[in-house]
Amino acid sequence: MGLTGYMMWNPIATSRILPGEFIPAAKAAHGAEAILAVLAIIIWHMYSVHLKTFNKAMWTGSLTEDEMLHEHPLELADIKAGVIDQPIAVAVLRKRQRGYYPVAGILAVVMLAGVYGFVGTEETALTTIPIQPERLVSSYDPQTPTPLPTFAPTATPEPVAVADLTWQVYIGPLFQQKCVMCHGQLGGLSLASYAEAMVGGQSGTVILPGDSANSVLISIQAPGNHLGQLSVDELILLEEWVDAGAPK
């Protein structure tokens, strides 16, 4: 019990000498021995002393002759022989004391050193890891609501030449980035290809080549609150593309 208790009390010191698997093994052995001790007390001590014979010596301080004969026969024989209370000779007592005190003192020192070693061997993380103030955080951080998802910021567009202001070069990739996520089939309007965009949706044509002012696509983007809203520069280029005849 003492060895397994030491191993559980000082797991780091134990793992320096023995493999780490010995620590859970010590826990299992320690627990099994504790159960065995409890069972021994209940079955052997409780039954034999308190139930089977109901020994009353703990209250009366004495035993009957039958109990003495069963439990302490040699002591009973000394009592009957009249030698149990004879005083010890002074010389014998001194001799015993000369042997007892040194042994008792050495054992006391060894046991105290053992207790100190038992509780003081381990160096836990509380003393071996230095405190790093720069990593300290507040003990209370109020929760904040999770922000709603937003579209990734659009990089500032490079100036587009007039010759590049076509569906293939600029408008198509712009719609793929900003519009196709919703306008694949939503409302019957698809902006995934030039042909589908020019056909329009359930409400009719949304791009009128040469007439951006009356194109539904431009009027929906103009207020600035559409879900897939184009930037001001992108909307200006879209208007120029429509006014230029919406070239493919």
pLDDT in tens, 86-109: 778 889 989 999 999 999 999 999
- Note the pLDDT of residue 127: 58
| Planar angle of CA 156, 161, 163, nearest 5 degrees | 140
Query: N- to C-terminal Cα distance for the chain?
Result: 88
Cα 182 to Cα 220: distance, rounded to the nearest angstrom: 14
Distances 89 to 74, 84, 86 between C-alpha atoms, Å: 21, 14, 9
Burial degree of 218 (CB within 10 A; 0-12, 13-18, 19+): buried
Cα 101 to Cα 63: distance, rounded to the nearest angstrom: 33
- Note the pLDDT of residue 34: 92
Number of helices (H) and strands (E) in the chain: give both, helices first.
12, 0
Cα 40 to Cα 48: distance, rounded to the nearest angstrom: 11
In this prediction, what percent of the chain has a pLDDT beyond 90? 17
pLDDT < 50 positions in the chain: none
Cβ contact 215:242 at 8 Å: yes
Residue 188 falls in which region: left (phi positive, over 0), alpha (psi -120 to 50) or beta: left
Cα 152 to Cα 154: distance, rounded to the nearest angstrom: 6
Q: Which residue has the tokens 């003990």?
A: 139
Half-sphere exposure of 103 (CA within 13 A, CB side): 5
| Planar angle of CA 90, 94, 98, nearest 5 degrees | 175
- Residue 121 makes CB contacts below 8 A (sequence gap 6+) with 10, 13
- Note the pLDDT of residue 156: 55
Helix, strand and coil in the chain, % to nearest 5: 60, 0, 40
- Note the pLDDT of residue 96: 92
- Note the pLDDT of residue 4: 92
Q: What is the pTM of this model?
A: 0.36
